[in-house]
A and B are shown apart, each in its own frame.
Chain A
Amino acid sequence: MLIFKRGHTHINQDDLSEYLDGRLSGTAAARIDLRLTECASCRRDLDALRSTVSLLQQMPELTLPRSFIMPGPPPAPVALRPPAPLRMPQWVYSGAAATAALVFAILVSADATGLLAPKLTAQPEVTAQALRAAPESFQQEDRDGAARAIEMAAPQAPVVNEAISAEKGLNIAVTREAEVAEAEAVAPTLRQAAVPPQTAAKVEAPADTSASAPVAAMATTEVKEVATSEVARPQPEAAMSALAVEEGVKAKSVPLTPEVAMAAAKADESAKMKADSTPSIIALTTPQRPPEPTTVAQDSPRGIPPPYNPINIWRVLEGLAAVTAVGFLVVWILRRRAGR
């Protein structure tokens, strides 16, 4: 009871302050008057507040150091500030730097994960070297080399790997092998001049068996197609012949199901990654071929889109983003220093 009474009936600070200034209405003031007669603590509070206010009111008025009377109209405000674009708040600079850095990071990570891959090309010098080195090594160990290439390439193709784990044990590979063999038979002239048939079979076969599914098999075929076309770019004739060879295979094997097209699209990406990361492997799988009539690829009903985009626009954008980020960062730091 006592606690409730004490806690409940103390006059709050706002009321006391207003009471002191005589700004409370009659009833409110009367309530406080009553409370003050009952509560010594409230009385002390009021006295202390009154003394405080009294001290404040007695604060001496300071004399002016000088008169502020103006001799005439003050001059118009002088534009001491630099032009507006340079006077943007600090966060604009830091924000711009952060945004540019973010764009740069996104571009780089997209690049690294292969999202921008269709626009990326293999390093020409590396590829040329690999192509030059390819024939000898291929002749020496064409079977082993091809097998190794497939071995090394397989883990890098997620589509294929998924297919391996998902469809292990299915026997569709047999059908695929037959198809591939048929495809090769359809393009004998091209094969003659290009890969030794048994090598090509080797190249196709392990991939097919490991894939064990039409979609996955198609993917590997596509992988090699695109890889071939990418690697062979520095040497147009070789590229054309490569296209011709693969066209022969493709012409037969493509029209399977609609989902093949999707698989091909997926495979394109992984092929790009390989084209970038392991040019020597690709070189091994694409031995030197003699020149072929350039019309073959164009005549083909399902021609591979020719490689294009010699200038890599994404890399240029990455560079621009990096330069922008660094530039804004420098400006921001300089302005922070100047601001101190």
Chain B
Amino acid sequence: MVSTAEVLNCTTHEPLPVQDRSGATHCYNCIIESMQIQAYNLARRMLEDWSLAEDAAQESFVSGYRAFHQFRGNNLKAWVMRIVANTCKDMLRSRRARPTVPLDPISSDPDDPTAPPSAVDLPSSEESPEAYAEREELARIIQSGLASLPEEQRLAVLLVDVQGMDYEEAAATMHCSLGTVKSRLSRGRGRMKDYLRNTGELLPDLFRQEV
């Protein structure tokens, strides 16, 4: 048994040793630390529901821990994000099977500390309230546009445009071919474009001119 303290030089958290397929030891908490923002963001954009997104991220990391021995040691980000994407898909599926009253992530009440965070979350201090309101409105519209996309197209758009993955990484994450990524991405972008055109008010001039 490898001594974790020796192999894993973790200072900010409890070392959590895991071994990949080749037998190399990693600290799983380090992996979580490096991936959790992206994982949570993907889950949140996929699911909309903030509490579900938290559950999805948590569940994904637990699943990842249990399945880490299958990890081949290359492209950790794609591996983790694939687990997150699959967890989100499962949740969407079970939500479709058992529809509940959705917790609206958008209608957050600033006076209520227990209210869920908005799509933009906390305003930065240097931003004017108007700018913040406009930005939040824009983010809300984009988020509803994303929600209107089919699941796979939404995932492709999120991975490439929001998360900044390249096509190859997105293909590894989505477990599909490069061509499939291209077509899903282009169709998702096209739909987003149409959605933003049709909503209009706070969008850049370009869209308003074209309507």
Contact = CB atoms under 8 A, between A and B. Distances in A.
Interface string A1-32: 00000000000011011100101000000000
B179 to A, nearest CB: 9
B36 A51 contact: no
Interface in A16-70: 16-18, 21, 23, 44, 47-49, 51-53, 55-57, 59-70
Interface string B82-125: 00000000000000001000000000000000000101111000
A73 interface: yes
Contact of A48 (B41, B157, B193): B193
Interface string B171-211: 00000000000110111011011001100000110110010
Contact of B186 (A17, A48, A68, A71): A17
Contacts of B98: 339-340
B41 A70 contact: no
B192 A52 contact: yes
A49 B32 CA distance: 34
Nearest to A53: B161
B13 A69 contact: yes
Given A13-B190, A18-B182, A62 B41 contact: yes
A60 B41 CA distance: 10
A57 B142 CA distance: 11
A85 interface: no
A48 B65 contact: no
Interface residues of A, number: 36
B79 interface: no
B29 A62 contact: no
Contacts of B62: 74
Given A48-B206, A62-B44, A13 B186 contact: yes
A168 B84 CA distance: 84
B209 to A, nearest CB: 9
Contacts of A73: 16, 65
Interface string A120-155: 000000000000000000000000000000000000
Contact of B37 (A51, A59, A64): A64
A77 interface: yes
B8 interface: no
B139 A56 contact: no
A67 B36 contact: yes
B174 to A, nearest CB: 16
A340 B204 CA distance: 45
Interface of B: 13-14, 16, 28-29, 32-33, 36-37, 39-41, 44-45, 50, 54, 57-58, 61-62, 65-66, 98, 117, 119-122, 135, 138-139, 142, 157, 160-162, 164, 167, 182-183, 185-187, 189-190, 192-193, 196-197, 203-204, 206-207, 210
Interface of A: 13-14, 16-18, 21, 23, 44, 47-49, 51-53, 55-57, 59-74, 77, 339-340
Given A21-B160, A51-B206, 13 more contacts: A18-B186, A48-B193, A51-B196, A52-B189, A55-B204, A56-B161, A59-B139, A61-B37, A62-B40, A62-B41, A63-B121, A65-B40, A72-B16
23 contacts: A13-B189, A17-B185, A17-B189, A21-B167, A23-B167, A48-B197, A49-B189, A51-B207, A52-B189, A55-B204, A56-B142, A56-B161, A60-B120, A60-B139, A62-B119, A64-B36, A64-B40, A65-B54, A68-B32, A69-B32, A70-B28, A70-B32, A74-B62
